Structure 1
Amino acid sequence: MARIDDISDYLIAPDPQSARLTRAVTGTDQNGQPMDLRVVEERPLTIYLNAQEIVTAMTIGDYPEYLALGFLRNQGMLRKGEVIKGVDYDEELEVVVVRTDGQTTYEDKLKKKTRTSGCAVGTVFGDMMEGLENVTLPATQVRTSDLYTLAAKINRTPSLYLEAGAIHGTILCQGNRPLVYMEDVGRHNAVDKIAGWMLSENVHPHDKILYTTGRLTSEMVIKTALMGIPVLASRSGFTAWGVEIAGQIGLTLIGRMKGQRFVCLAGETRLIRDADPTQVADEPRKMGRKGSST
């Protein structure tokens, strides 16, 4: 699929040519011939909330302020109505300090960690389901024509994934327009950057779609719901718990979006099927086990 040159729809687009995000390395191919390529960088980022150290995350190093804000928000450590007095990033120390008008008392929460299935070993502090009981998602309708348009635009956008691989993308969308495209070694980091940008810009979530290149796991469903976004879509597959939670909380969940095909796992009644799939450019099916197509 050809890449697109016009990324003017995006408020934030990937920057695959940034020298800071990749490093040149030399290897040998299957024939023993030398080859040069670029690989994604990983950097530690330590996040503080006021005077308390919260976590050190491995990240590609872009948008550290958004990552810190989004991580703290999605962990329930930034309460609704809490005043953020400042976000300070020290590039040399690789530290972000988020300062609020309240005191930080999360010692008990930090003792309970859940390692998630996210790449780069995502970590959730406290109860993974904490806060979902208070979530009410709007019954936002989704046009299948918008889904097809978004998938085509996103899959053709120049990105670190296309440049170097080994990375996940998450895109905040509205209607058929992709707004903010974040990438990172872990899809949880990419989602947190989106959450941090939305918090910083005071963006309303109820008419948005979150598109991810990664799997639709319980972690992804929970984070999307806690952000107030009613629709989550992906090229990839899904887990049973992710599907179950989506159905319980009223999240529209759409997976395996490739060419003409997709599977709606939850929220079928909120889909407006206004596009003829046969008029959409398809992608070749891959052969799975025992010769079955996937």
Structure 2
Amino acid sequence: MQLARAEDVGDYLIAPDPGAPRLTRAVTGTDHTGATVEARVVEERPLTIYLNGQEIVTAMTIGDFPEYLALGFLRNQGMLRDADEVTGVEFDEELEVVVVRTARQTDYEEKMRKKTRTSGCAVGTVFGDMMEGLEDVALPPAQVRTSWLYALSAGINRTPSLYLEAGAIHGTVLCQGNRPLVYMEDVGRHNAVDKIAGWMLSERIPAEDKILYTTGRLTSEMVIKTALMGIPVLASRSGFTAWGVEIARQVGLTLIGRMKGQRFLCLSGEERLLRDADPTQIADEPRGARRKGAHA
């Protein structure tokens, strides 16, 4: 997939490409006045992920970055270990299949008998015990400046995106300091964060100094994935679920939500925050308003 030009998206390493023809389709309908209109709607297609010879899952996705999605999904499910040698990642566009191959022989038949449907849009799936591996998580004591949060929120919400082109989409952004690095979109926020995880795994990107920004709700699934990736901070302009907050506190994750204008709410990991910005100097949003480009 062709990436958007650097001059259009600032310093992103990967940014949304809302004009990519494969991601949306023109559909004719009528508006509230009865007039005929043409709208761009998001494509949704299946992608089947194999680990060596075993079929793992079929995910509904917009179809970009399938290799990263497969790697990230397997990593976040605990099916790819830190010590694993990935010997190949093969994508067949015609069959809509990704095969990830490892030097280690794998068999997750028993794990796949247990699966949890999550609250993620487009129905996320978590295999096995959702809490497996969290007891060993030790997130780094990174510092988070509130000036970074304000800059990230303003910049990300104004970035040209597939959401602005067609809606019905979620985004996840990997950030370092006040700089957004990689912005992934998909019909489910779980897919978007898995693409980030796959990119980090492929490029061997360290997690200890990163912030993960999501446009969707701060659910248990998002908290678990972020913690297992080793990222110490998860932020969103949307709200929280009680279980998401509980798990964040358990693993020591900094959890920040309802980021709108000068306001935000931190419900876990307050000790990482350095309040170096005066909120009264930040342009606020009218209550009830949604900034162009934001997501519910």
- 1:171-250 superposed matches below 5 A: 171-250=173-252
Equivalent residue, structure 2, for 1:276: 278
Q: After superposition, what is the alpha-carbon deviation per residue over 1:251-289, rounded to whole angstroms, capped at 9, x for unaligned?
A: 0000000111100011112110000111111111019xx
**Partner amino acid, structure 1, of 2:45:** R
- 1:1-294 superposed matches below 5 A: 6-286=8-288
Equivalent residue, structure 2, for 1:290: none
Q: Secondary structure of 1:20's match?
A: helix
**Partner amino acid, structure 2, of 1:128:** M
Shift of residue 187 of structure 1?
0.2
**Partner amino acid, structure 1, of 2:142:** T
Contact 1:139–1:250 (8 Å) recurs in 2: no
Greater shift in the superposed pair: 197-206 or 4-13: 4-13
1:284, 1:37 → 2: CA distance? 29
Q: Secondary structure of 1:89's match?
A: strand
**Partner amino acid, structure 2, of 1:78:** L
Structure 1: segments with no counterpart, 5+ residues: 288-294
**Partner amino acid, structure 1, of 2:219:** T
Shift of residue 80 of structure 1?
1.7
Q: After superposition, what is the alpha-carbon deviation per residue over 1:122-145, rounded to whole angstroms, capped at 9, x for unaligned?
A: 000000000001100011110000
1:39, 1:61 → 2: CA distance? 14
Q: After superposition, what is the alpha-carbon deviation per residue over 1:26-51, rounded to whole angstroms, capped at 9, x for unaligned?
A: 11111111111100000100000000
Please give the root-mean-square deviation of Cα atoms over the aligned residues, in Å.
1.1
**Partner amino acid, structure 2, of 1:99:** R
1:86, 1:196 → 2: CA distance? 13
TM-score between the two structures when normalised by the length of structure 1: 0.95
Shift of residue 7 of structure 1?
1.4
Contact 1:216–1:239 (8 Å) recurs in 2: yes
Contact 1:40–1:165 (8 Å) recurs in 2: yes
TM-score between the two structures when normalised by the length of structure 2: 0.95
Shift of residue 20 of structure 1?
0.3
1:143, 1:254 → 2: CA distance? 12
Q: After superposition, what is the alpha-carbon deviation per residue over 1:41-77, rounded to whole angstroms, capped at 9, x for unaligned?
A: 0010000000000000000000000000000000000
Q: After superposition, what is the alpha-carbon deviation per residue over 1:204-227, rounded to whole angstroms, capped at 9, x for unaligned?
A: 000000000000000000000000
Structure 2: segments with no counterpart, 5+ residues: 1-5, 290-296
Shift of residue 8 of structure 1?
2.9
Equivalent residue, structure 1, for 2:293: none
Greater shift in the superposed pair: 193-202 or 7-16: 7-16
1:5, 1:167 → 2: CA distance? 24
2:18, 2:7 → 1: CA distance? 13
**Partner amino acid, structure 1, of 2:201:** L
1:156, 1:80 → 2: CA distance? 35
Q: Secondary structure of 1:23's match?
A: strand
